[in-house]
Structure 1
């Protein structure tokens, strides 16, 4: 008899736990359902900026991209209507955006964090359709003026896969632009990069001589080293404007020329 009562008590406990679990599941279901059917409370858009504090893309551009995808302004969307992963992909398809992260907090606030691409060089195109390259070599449309070196001359046409084609001289341009971006001395020195018909590269400095001849981009580190040594030691003796041209094309040599003589 005592054993039977004990079993009955155990059964009641199990039933009670089951009812509690079901009630909790129902509560959670309706809570989630209610949240999904709720409108957004607020939208916070944060766009990363480079050291110059300029932006390639503005908040209104982000809203416009999302509106084009959704068919309506995102501010009137319900949470259930938002496929955040898909919207992230939509934003990162834009040439100006490197990464996008979207999430909704417990107060129904939508946060959109956008990491914009950072231009390191501007390509001057004869038809006027100039563009920037970022550090990875991805094309960025010109929407604002960034203080970066400008490339002129005979630059090969940009294609997405240009890095797979060694003969495309954009590879040389990108390699030099990366060196300039990473080096404080070069960043302060280089104003313009000129590429001739043979894909030989010439640097136009911001101050001083007219040009610095690098030639083909091979042995770039050695040429940069020679340039730094020359500026650190040679200028102390002869001054920055003594010669119009500095030629670094030849191994182990730095040639100086005065084009007026």
Structure 2
């Protein structure tokens, strides 16, 4: 019985090896033929699923060609360094990720994901700046203005200068929660951080100010803010109170 199985293996083995060799040869031939092709054109796709337009197709093409000094169209694909082009695109502050690859037909594709800000830091004596979900500081752009909550106050100015402490992390928690909560995001216009790190929230509609105190127990405080909008706001309206404190546990203080 063992001898029979041994014979079967010996008969099948060469066929499998032969098939692998043929497939490898075909793969090598196709790859060689593809890379012998020349770049016929460049196609750029910029992710704008969040309606952010900091990066355009034209600007990506300029980065890929280094404003015309790097020839791509007409060049053999085997001469084009795709990784180097990706790195050049990702140098742009508003590019989070870039993927560059060549198609079988000779088209050079670039897929770009934008670096999306979640808030804008406003500074009366210096240029404004954006901040993204990871806490990275981004410059403003003359091309596009993002509709995001504003961050103001003496302490917020330190964020642009690289200060990352407990206050910074607390503020980032607030901003991330607002970004992820579509309802609250639609209500909030501005977050103010005073020199001691205490937070105040200004709504889109109305003159009342929501006080959070120090950026601690953020989930609890924002849950109370949602409760206020669901159970008090519909009956009292946007201007019933000047001040609404969410700082203290198990209570909302309205004045």
Pairwise TM-score range, normalised by the shorter structure: 0.7 to 0.9
**Whole-angstrom CA distance in 2 between matches of 1:73 and 1:125:** 42
Shift in Å at residue 81 of structure 1? 2.3
Within 5 Å, give how 1:147-226 maps onto structure 2: 147-154=147-154, 155=156, 156-158=158-160, 165-167=164-166, 169-226=167-224
Asked if structure 2 preserves the Cα contact closer than 8 Å seen for 1:158 and 1:170, the reply is no
TM-score w.r.t. length of structure 1 = 0.78
Structure number with bigger Rg: 1
Match of 2:230 among 211, 229, 232: 232
Residues 63 and 73, structure 1, Cα contact 8 Å, conserved in 2: no
Q: Aligned with 2:250: secondary structure?
A: coil
Task: State how far apart, in whole Å, the 2-side matches of 1:85 and 1:208 are.
Answer: 51
Q: Distance in 1 between matches of 2:171 and 2:250?
A: 23
Q: Give the unaligned 5+ runs of structure 1.
A: 1-20
Tell me: CA distance 1:172–1:73, structure 2 relative to 1, closer, same or farther (3 Å).
farther
**Partner Cα distance (2:124, 2:202) in 1:** 19
CA distance in 2: counterparts of 1:189 and 1:30, whole angstroms: 56
- Structure 2 contact 208–238 (Cα < 8 Å) conserved: no
**Structure 1, residues 13-69: CA drift from partner, whole Å, max 9, x if none?**
xxxxxxxx9xx97xx67982x754543111110000033x33111122112222339
SS for the counterpart of 2:39 is coil
Count of aligned pairs between the two proteins? 231
**TM-score normalised by structure 2 residue count:** 0.79
- Given that 2:34 and 2:104 are in contact with CA atoms closer than 8 Å, whether structure 1 keeps it comes out as no
Taking only aligned residues, the RMSD between alpha carbons, in angstroms, comes to 2.9
Which segment drifts farther, 233-242 or 118-127?
233-242
Secondary structure in structure 2 of the residue aligned to 1:218: coil
Unpaired segments ≥5 residues, structure 2:
1-20
**Counterparts of residues 21-36 of structure 1 (less than 5 Å):** 32=32, 36=35
Evaluate the alpha carbon distance shift between residue 130 and residue 77 of structure 1 in structure 2; reply closer, same or farther with a 3 A threshold.
farther
CA contact (8 A) 2:207 2:242 kept: yes
Q: Deviations along 1:54-94, whole A, 9 cap, x unmatched? A: 31111221122223398324334431221112221222232
Contact in 1 for aligned 2:96/2:114 (Cα 8 Å)? yes
Q: Tell me the equivalent position of 1:87.
A: 85
